[in-house]
Amino acid sequence: MNEKLIVALDYAYENEARELVSQLDDAVSYYKVGLELFLNTRGSIIDYLKHCGKKVFLDLKFHDIPNTVAQAAAWAASFGVDMFTLHASCGAEMMRTSVDTVNDICDKLNVKMPQMVGVTILTSFDEEGIARVGYKDNIANTVLNLAKLCQESNMRGIVCSPHEVAEIKKVCGQDFLTVCPGIRPVWAAKGDQKRITTPSDAIKIGVDYMVVGRPITKANNPREAALKIVEEIGGVTK
């Protein structure tokens, strides 16, 4: 088991997600829940994962005014999630207010403070796309600028590509967390991921958490695939 590995539960139905969690058993301790599964299970997948003793990365990418996000974030924290995402482009006030509100609720409920991580520029954007939205700088600079804004707003880190980690760590420091998709072991199909990194390279680069979906969820033997990744990660960190 390795807490750097987060398996993405990209399913529509709770029974499919539960089936994978039970197959992976003690090989995986951390799961990502996104919009589809969260909505379709009316949030109950969180209770299931917590009941199984798993960690939860709730990736709902909150994007709204400070008060609204802060209240949503407080609910996420009260469910006991371990990490969740907010859109950095909502600005410093939204992020600071949310961090403070979550801090307060965690103190009150005596629960552990979740790691709050920012979403910068979605990878579905290209340069023309962000220019049309109104960003004046290119994607790389905008990502760095938003990463700095997250840090100044007391967020714990950001979601990014492994290829951005070195620069982000240089600017924001080693303690600023990087949570990265786009991970492919050499033995797995690339799928639609274009710029990929192996689990061992991700560790060498300084990735703090890697979010892996299809190399595990679509493997003939998901548990074996997960264990191979855990072993690969362990081989580097030892």
Enzyme catalytic residues = 61
CA angle 87, 89, 92 (to 5 degrees): 95
Neighbours of 67 (CB within 10 A): 12
The DSSP symbol for 37 reads: H
Would you say 114 or 213 has its CB closer to ligand C5P?
213
What's the closest the beta carbon of residue 66 comes to ligand C5P, in angstroms? 24
What's the closest the beta carbon of residue 217 comes to ligand C5P, in angstroms? 7
CA angle 20, 188, 232 (to 5 degrees): 80
Which positions lie near ligand C5P, rule CB under 6 A? 8, 10, 34, 123, 181-182, 191, 193, 211-215
Would you say 9 or 155 has its CB closer to ligand C5P?
9
Query: How far is it, in rounded angstroms, from Cα 80 to Cα 37?
Result: 17
Listed residue (107, 61, 53, 64) closest to 84, CA to CA? 61
The residue number whose beta carbon is nearest to ligand C5P equals 213
What's the closest the beta carbon of residue 192 comes to ligand C5P, in angstroms? 7
Residue 230: its H or E element: helix 222-237
Would you say 115 or 123 has its CB closer to ligand C5P?
123
Q: What is the DSSP string of 48-81?
A: HHHHTT-EEEEEEEE-S-HHHHHHHHHHHHHTT-
What's the closest the beta carbon of residue 107 comes to ligand C5P, in angstroms? 31
What's the closest the beta carbon of residue 10 comes to ligand C5P, in angstroms? 5
Listed residue (63, 60, 121, 67) closest to 96, CA to CA? 67
Would you say 66 or 215 has its CB closer to ligand C5P?
215
Would you say 69 or 143 has its CB closer to ligand C5P?
143
Residue written as token pair 């033997």: 221
